[in-house]
Amino acid sequence: MSQIKLSVQGMSCENCAKHVTEALEKVPGVTKVTVSLRDNTAEVELGTDAGDVTPQLLQAVEQAGYEAQVVS
């Protein structure tokens, strides 16, 4: 299992965090999503067979109306 941490810009309330969570959970291979409104981050856990879904994660956040980038 691997994990990707994203920095998410544009979240201002718990409802925003919920939208980001729901968007990321729809990406194939995602097993768990933890969004922190306080830190403006999203931690995504992936199953062993997920492959590189980073572009899909970023696209999902953008389609939900927010900006994201991978935190190294």
Beta-carbon count within 10 A of 60 CB:
22
CATH number reported for the structural domain that contains residue 40 in this entry: 3.30.70.100
Measured in whole angstroms, the distance separating CA 47 from the mean position of its chain's CA atoms is 14
| Residue 4 banded pLDDT, cuts 50, 70, 90 | very high
Tens of pLDDT, residues 39-58 = 999 999 999 887 899 999 99
Confidence at residue 48, expressed as pLDDT on a 0 to 100 scale: 87
Report pTM.
Answer: 0.93
Q: Please say if the pLDDT value at position 72 is more than 80.
A: no
Residue 18's domain comprises 2-70
What pLDDT sits at residue 1? Answer: 75
Which residue type, as a one-letter code, is found at position 27? V
Question: What's the CA gap between 20 and 60, in Å, rounded?
Answer: 8
**What average pLDDT does this structure show over 22-31?**
97
What pLDDT sits at residue 50?
79
Q: What is the count of structural domains for the chain?
A: 1
Q: Rounded to an integer, what distance in angstroms lies between the CA atom of residue 46 and that of residue 59?
A: 16
